[in-house]
Amino acid sequence: MSSVRLLVGTRKGAFILTADGKRKNWHIEGPHFPGWPVYHLKGSPANPNRIYASQTSDWFGQVIQRSDDGGKTWMQPGTPPGEAAATGPGGMPRGESNKFVYDTSDATGKPLTTHQWYDGTQHPWEFKRVWHLEPVPGNPDHVYAGVEDAALFQSRDGGKTWQELSGLRGHGTGPQWTPGAGGMGLHSIVLDPADPRRIFIAISAAGAFRSLDGGATWQAINRGLRSQYIPDPNAEVGHCVHHICMHPARPQTLFMQKHWDVLRTDDAGDNWREISGNLPTDFGFVVDVHAHEPETVYVVPIKSDSEHYPLDGKLRVYRSRSGGNDWQEMGRGLPERDCYVNVLRDAMSVDRLDACGIYFGTTGGQVYASPDGGENWQAIVHDLPAVLSVEAQTLP
């Protein structure tokens, strides 16, 4: 019987939640890396027991962790004992798996050393953390990392070493990128399952970008986005995209939750159109697609950019079965009152069982699950630290 494993990153560690296919009774394990923020964990589609985790701290920096046994044990891939490939002076490993250094080489044209700062001046690029890890479907050793300050890195050796795909920062608009309130993070990485060279990413507050050549060259894909909080609301870049997602069977279609507005594109980002429709508020962070219905989309409306909690204290998921515009309130089992949590951008996921399961975590430490596409909800766990990310794995 199939089962589901949820990888939950929180402000104070990682948790692994497992259940059988009924998804009613959950086993909760953790915290892993206790006390450390874990921004994101994600398993390899090629080998679900290969899981990458971003453990990060304002104090002590970035640590990449890897598990090869489904989260039972963890290691830093650049520093396993006795591994000669990553040795430094004296024959000791060097912790390369945690090393993210921006490319300033002549070979790539010394791409960008500054971006726009809050006061309008240019500011040096400074690595802070990995926001999102995206394993490549066919190769468990190949994984992308979206980082703050915004850049895309990749590892082709299972996370031992990381190299920047500097064409993104260097494509031309980088000096106009500005940090959002939460920092200038590259938070969304969407891979086209039909074309491994086509990559979509999104950055706060720059917008969405697309590469057709495996990350070597990039173009901004923000036509149709309209943002009143920037001088030119229709600018090529500067939009605060919160999250983008794709159904694997429809790689031309992407959905986006922007700072305000929910949008979609059906031409791989060349043009976007708003699909907020009857949503009670179109501010929010998460957006995701049903596993088997490419036109069924989920968002969690948040009151506003100054009040990051649900409208009227009622936590609600909204579902559209028509690809947007026509949204249905889904609240059975969710808090009806006095709920003032947020749902952060990487904190929603779906499983791939026949009856698609939907999951999301909150800044109040709850993880909610719906085993029936959003009709009914239950809290799997109530009192975790603030949830930063949720990823569902469907296991055989």
Partner 1 sequence: MVRVELPHPLRALAGIGGEVEFEVAAPVTTGRVLDALEARYPMLCGTVRDHDSGARRAYVRFYACGEDLSHDPPDVPLPAAVAEGREPFLIIGAISGGC
* Binding-site ranges for partner 1 (CB under 8 A): 11, 34-36, 57-63, 76, 78-79, 88-90, 92-96, 98-102, 127
The residues facing 4 across adjacent strands are 19, 394
Residue 37 or 284: the one with the smaller Cβ distance to partner 1 is 37
Residue 75 or 311: the one with the smaller Cβ distance to partner 1 is 75
Give least dist CB 386 to partner 1, A: 9
The residue behind tokens 């697609």 is 289
Give least dist CB 41 to partner 1, A: 17
| Cβ proximity of 303 and 310 under 8 Å | yes
Give least dist CB 183 to partner 1, A: 15
Give least dist CB 77 to partner 1, A: 11
d(C-alpha 132, C-alpha 109), whole Å: 26
Residue 86 or 263: the one with the smaller Cβ distance to partner 1 is 86
Residue 164 or 192: the one with the smaller Cβ distance to partner 1 is 164
Q: What is the DSSP string of 266-327?
A: SSTTS--EE--TT-S--B-S-EEE-SS-TT-EEE--BS-SS--S-GGG---EEEESSSSSS-
Cβ density class 297-315: b for 16+ within 10 Å, e for less: bbbbbbbeeeebbbeeeeb
Give least dist CB 78 to partner 1, A: 8
Residue 74 or 200: the one with the smaller Cβ distance to partner 1 is 74
d(C-alpha 153, C-alpha 162), whole Å: 6
| Cβ proximity of 357 and 4 under 8 Å | yes
d(C-alpha 290, C-alpha 392), whole Å: 12
Give least dist CB 79 to partner 1, A: 5
Residue 128 or 226: the one with the smaller Cβ distance to partner 1 is 128
